[in-house]
Amino acid sequence: MDVPLIFEKSRPGRRGVRFEPHSDVASFNLEAHIPAELIRRTPLGLPEVAENDVVRHYTALSTLNYGVDTGFYPLGSCTMKYNPKVNDWAAGLPGFADVHPLQPDSTVQGLLTLLKALEDGLKEISGMDAVSLQPAAGAHGELTGILMIKAYLRDRGENRRTILVPDSAHGTNPATASMAGFEVKVVPSNTRGGVDVDALAQMVDENTAGLMLTNPNTLGLFEEDILAIADIVHQAGGLLYYDGANANAIMGRVRPGDMGFDVVHLNLHKTFSTPHGGGGPGSGPVGVTAKLEPYLPYPRLRQGSEGLYWDYHVGRSIGKVRSYYGNVGVLVRAYAYLRSHGQEGLKAVSETAVLNANYLLKQLSERYRTPYDRTVKHEFVLSLTPQKARGARALDVAKRIIDYGFYPPTVYFPLVVDEALMVEPTETESKETLDRFIEAMRAIDDEIDQNPDVVHEAPHHTVVRRFDEAEAARHPVLTWQQLKGES
Ligand SMILES: *Cc1c(COP(=O)(O)O)cnc(C)c1O
């Protein structure tokens, strides 16, 4: 399926729309309305194309996208699951989509009621005492949470300077701690893939502000020693931060609050039904225990005698972290998602996410090395060192899987596993889809010996094949003009 990409479609004089001479556009008197020096004298150089050229161009481009609406997307640590369309419908209702953030509170009581109910739902799920819906992404929630820990410690007159982060942590964790002005110390993992508790006990001291932890961690493993870990950090006077970006392993089953965490963020655009991956709006609400509540961003949503209102007088708040109240469309989707599943439904989501991951792991472990022989939660990591010895790296296998119609799993993360391939099937995939993926992974393993070139040169059916990803990120060429060398 080689799609010929002929970008240059402009032909002089070709038109999609022609303005009639008597229309208000054609007869608009520029000179009467715009200062002479601001009127363009040379043509704009827009492409001259017919309407069908434009429609076909963009429709062709749209078919080059791969997304959860087109197929299986097992990108570990990203929770790329299918998002039910009913939640988009809810977010598009005029009472939510057409209100203005500066409207008086009295005119948006319905929306405020929904936001309050969402706060309550997320409190229940996380086991926290208070929630702010303001942060716009997971990393943003992390920064909000760590700044609250900083403010709390400062108010207690404590100048603690280190945040501990396990070596399996998501990269945003150390980045957040460092942005918030802390020094980051890396806690080693033990042979079972969990935090090395003895090493942790040696590392905590009067400088420890806190520990950031993902549980289950990025290896998909549940931290068995979590209560001991929480004790060690609390005894030393530090606080515990829970990175809840991917909550679909624990939702309705176990709560970060009950594990001993003081601050939590949740990614609504991973677990709670907002499409993501294209850089669209996200949401990373933070939850805290009572002692940190005074530090939450303002405004806080409160119940007054005349209804719900935004309270801007929050004395010890760390301040606003985003304009207005967060990404409200994402919040509406999350609420619709919670209500359409209900308590039992959310539990079933977690169970299915974990079942799917373990089924895939079991089947794939016949061909691929599993660095930790344990039951996993929502995701798992394979180590492709044996495949590398046979001539194909994790990157080659990931590129080849594209030819079989799947989005590749995450590669080379977490860093604690050599030749890592990190798979997260999510709860929304059927057994048939998982079986097709298993078949493809087996076939690729055979190809490594029988037809190595086909693996090394993959993918074969995409418009672009392997490119320099670092160069693409640093010096992106984003326009046709740039590609042609015109400014
Ligand atoms: C995705 C993710 C984050 C960051 O979330 P963003 O919304 O992308 O900022 C943090 N931690 C973990 C474990 C994640 O998977």
pLDDT tens-place string over residues 132-171: 999 999 999 999 999 999 999 999 999 999 999 999 999 9
At 381 the pLDDT is: 97
| Residue 367 pLDDT exceeds 80 | yes
Measure the CA–CA gap between 334 and 273, rounded to whole angstroms: 6
At 479 the pLDDT is: 82
| Residue 286 pLDDT exceeds 80 | yes
Select from 143, 246, 267, 271 the residue to mutate for testing ligand 1; criterion: most ligand atoms less than 8 Å from CB.
267
Measure the CA–CA gap between 438 and 429, rounded to whole angstroms: 13
Mean confidence (pLDDT) of the chain? 94
Task: Give the 3-state secondary structure of residue 212.
Answer: strand
Q: Are 208 and 236 in contact (CB under 8 A)?
A: yes
Domains with residue ranges and CATH for the chain: 6-62 (no CATH), 85-340 (3.40.640.10), 347-474 (3.90.1150.10)
Burial class (CB in 10 A: 0-12, 13-18, 19+), 9: middle
Q: What is the DSSP letter of 475?
A: S
Find the mean pLDDT for residues 278-295: 94
pLDDT, one tens digit per residue, over 393-452 is 999 999 999 999 999 999 999 999 999 999 999 999 999 999 999 999 999 999 999 999
| Residue 338 pLDDT exceeds 60 | yes
Residue 264 Cα to ligand 1 midpoint, Å, equals 12
Q: Are 160 and 153 in contact (CB under 8 A)?
A: yes
Find the mean pLDDT for residues 74-80: 95
Find the mean pLDDT for residues 274-292: 91
Find the mean pLDDT for residues 268-282: 89
pLDDT, one tens digit per residue, over 287-315 is 999 999 999 999 999 999 999 999 999 98
Q: Is the CB of 245 under 6 A from ligand 1?
A: yes
Measure the CA–CA gap between 139 and 326, rounded to whole angstroms: 14
Find the mean pLDDT for residues 217-221: 96
User: pLDDT tier at 3 (50, 70, 90 boundaries)?
Assistant: very low
Find the mean pLDDT for residues 54-63: 90
Q: Are 187 and 195 in contact (CB under 8 A)?
A: yes
Q: What percent of the chain has pLDDT over 70?
A: 98
At 109 the pLDDT is: 97
Residue 188 Cα to ligand 1 midpoint, Å, equals 21
User: pLDDT tier at 229 (50, 70, 90 boundaries)?
Assistant: very high
Measure the CA–CA gap between 465 and 446, rounded to whole angstroms: 22
pLDDT top residue among 352 and 315: 352
User: pLDDT tier at 487 (50, 70, 90 boundaries)?
Assistant: low
Q: Is the CB of 285 under 6 A from ligand 1?
A: no
Q: Lowest mean pLDDT of 88-97, 149-158, 260-269, 467-476, name the range.
A: 467-476
At 1 the pLDDT is: 40
Q: Which atom of ligand 1 is nearest to the CA of 79?
A: 15
| Residue 269 pLDDT exceeds 90 | yes
Measure the CA–CA gap between 110 and 97, rounded to whole angstroms: 12
Q: Which atom of ligand 1 is nearest to the CA of 284?
A: 7
Q: Are 237 and 153 in contact (CB under 8 A)?
A: no
User: pLDDT tier at 6 (50, 70, 90 boundaries)?
Assistant: low
Residue 183 Cα to ligand 1 midpoint, Å, equals 20
Q: Is the CB of 168 under 6 A from ligand 1?
A: no
User: pLDDT tier at 484 (50, 70, 90 boundaries)?
Assistant: confident
Q: Lowest mean pLDDT of 42-46, 208-212, 367-371, name the range.
A: 42-46
Find the mean pLDDT for residues 76-104: 95
Residue type (1 letter), 316: R
Q: Are 165 and 184 in contact (CB under 8 A)?
A: yes
Cα dist from 461 to 9, 63, 398, 402, 455, whole Å: 24, 13, 14, 8, 13
Q: Is the CB of 172 under 6 A from ligand 1?
A: yes
Find the mean pLDDT for residues 91-111: 96
Select from 77, 80, 176 the residue to mutate for testing ligand 1; criterion: most ligand atoms less than 8 Å from CB.
77
Q: Are 133 and 326 in contact (CB under 8 A)?
A: yes
CA 416, 417, 420, 425 torsion-angle sign: negative
- 436: how many CB neighbours lie within 10 A of its CB? 17
Whole-prediction pTM: 0.91
User: pLDDT tier at 5 (50, 70, 90 boundaries)?
Assistant: low
- Strands (E) located in 289-423: 300-304, 307-311, 380-383, 410-411, 420-423
